[in-house]
Structure 1
Amino acid sequence: MTTLHKGLALAGALLLTGCQAINTTGSSAVGVDRKQYMFSMLSTDEVNQSYAQMYQETLQQAQAKGKLDTRSNNAKRLQVIGQRLISQAGYFRPDARQWDWQVSLIDSPELNANCGPGGKIIFYSGIITKLKLTDDEIAAVMGHEIAHALREHSREAMSKAYGIEMAKLGLGAVLGVSQETIGLADTAVQYGMTLPNSRSAETEADLLGIELAARAGYNPNGAVSLWRKMEQVSQGAPAEFMSTHPSSSTRIATLEANIPKVMPLYEQARKR
């Protein structure tokens, strides 16, 4: 076994040190049940509290600039859609019912939205206005972002990053290898481990997102029309192999294959 291979083996071992294998969400119609490795020292509550502080700082900065939108029609739409989606989050993990959920709109041209740990949601107005999003498409975006929070993908990424840093230290201190070899190992870890797992997290968020939207009474086909719009405005995006997100064509194909699984949930929700 070469020094590099020994180093990568050590990286794998250190990634598991102090980790616990869990499934952050319960059963789903779309079959998201991957075990996740989390460092025990990074608790859910600690990560949620840390992000809550960052979230409030972001809102305060937006408010100081007059960019925190609480009154427009789009702000009101987000609140209605958010409450319907949040009401279904407990199906996937009961403790989410106790999260301090918040939905905010910032007036900015960015095509972006996110839901941080603990249920802190931010939309930037650009994604709504530039893409002319319908309610179903907004629900697709928000459902995707909420799914990231439910699956604790941020905590998982932090755990992984911590493990990689430990592995890099181990390569230098334990094996006595050169910085050049550490760089090779870093590249191998990045493209062989980190990025594929990031794409996996994105796919999980897509799938749980359409189920969450369907349970809330929003047409899951909105996710397909959303990503077709995104595909049109994201020409020149990096190749899938070099990206943390699936390509638009791969994403749309995966969504179309799984939407039939959640359509009965949508039809049932419409009758309530």
Structure 2
Amino acid sequence: MNTTLRRCSAALLVSAALAGCVNTTAGGEVGVNRKQFILLSEQEVTAMSAQAYTQELQKAKTAGALNSNAVITRRVRAISERLIRQAPVFRADARNWKWEVNVATSPELNAYCMAGGKIMVYSGLVEKLALSDDELATVIGHEMAHALREHSRESMSQAYAQQAGLSIVGQLAGLSQGSMELAALATDVALTKPHSRGMESEADTIGLELMARAGYNPQASITLWQKMLKAGGGGGPAFLSTHPAGEERIATLQRLIPKVMPLYQAAAKK
């Protein structure tokens, strides 16, 4: 690419970046208000995430591992339903999302929620850590928070922005070349790529409020992380382990719990 084209490409990306500094959720009682770098459309990322999720469901179904444990599946879905009812506190459009909740029979200590509300919990997480309903709500609320806050869309936007070039600008404009790449990227972001320190902290914070509003004791976030640290030898399982460190995470949650405890107490009286 010659210098002129490169400069034009950079200028277009800068313009897109300036237009894409948004806040995808309301702040809630916990006050999450960071401006986010967004380039890709919500519709495109949601569609690609749904496609990636369907592929994961098919893999699990083929292996006889999709919702094969009826007891865990009922628990996960019941807890998720209560949490999902609270999602509009952070974004009103979440009540119209096509939420899906499934369980994969796997020894992995893992869970995720793709863009648009596609939740998957691995049975090993529930069984190996002997999670209570409150602790399980901590995990699911955390993963839902990633989706509500559109962290996958943000991460995918950042990945695209790192590849300066007119071809990327073309893809952002909706050219078909980008569709398959987005599908692969949606899977990669949801299943393998760790979220940033800021994203993880936001998910902890929003998830804590979601569980409190749903009537789950936010103190369970502490016992969950104690179990995580013990299971991971200090780091915790991969889906929550990158940043912040376990001890720091626990300290932050302890500071936030007084903010959301009144919400839990009010929910418990209903």
- TM-score normalised by length of structure 2: 0.80
Among the aligned pairs, what percent are the same residue?
A: 52
- Report which of the two structures shows the higher radius of gyration computed on alpha carbons: 1
1:48 aligns with 2:49: no
1:114-125 pair list within 5 angstroms: 114-125=112-123
Q: How does 1:60-139 map to 2 (within 5 A)?
A: 60-69=58-67, 72-139=70-137
Alpha-carbon distance in structure 2 between the residues aligned to 1:67 and 1:163: 37
AA partner of residue 91 (structure 1): V
Conservation of the 8 A alpha-carbon contact between 2:82 and 2:214? yes
Q: Output the aligned Cα RMSD.
A: 2.5
Q: Which of 162, 184, 188 matches 2:160?
A: 162
Please list, as runs of the form range in 1=range in 2, the aligned pairs for 1:14-33 lying within 5 A after superposition: 16-19=14-17, 20-33=20-33
Residues 109 and 48 from structure 1, CA distance in 2 versus in 1: closer, same or farther, beyond 3 angstroms? same
| Partner of residue 36, structure 1 | 36
| Counterpart check, 1:252 vs 2:234 | no
What does residue range 169-188 of structure 1 map to in structure 2 within 5 Å?
none
Structure 2 distance, partners of 1:196, 1:55, is: 18
Q: Which position in structure 1 is the counterpart of 2:171? A: none
Does the C-alpha gap of structure 1 residues 94 and 72 become closer, same or farther in structure 2, counting only changes over 3 Å?
same
- Aligned match of 1:6: none
1:153 positional shift: 0.4
Please give the TM-score of this superposition, normalised by the length of structure 1: 0.80
Which residues of structure 2 form unaligned runs of 5+?
Answer: 1-9, 168-192
d(CA) in 1 for partners of 2:212 and 2:224? 15
Q: How far apart, CA to CA, are the structure 1 residues paired with 2:253 and 2:99?
A: 27
Alpha carbons of structure 1 residues 237 and 135: separation in structure 2 relative to 1, 3 Å: closer
Identify the residue that residue 197 of structure 2 maps to in structure 1.
Answer: 199
- Number of corresponding residues: 232
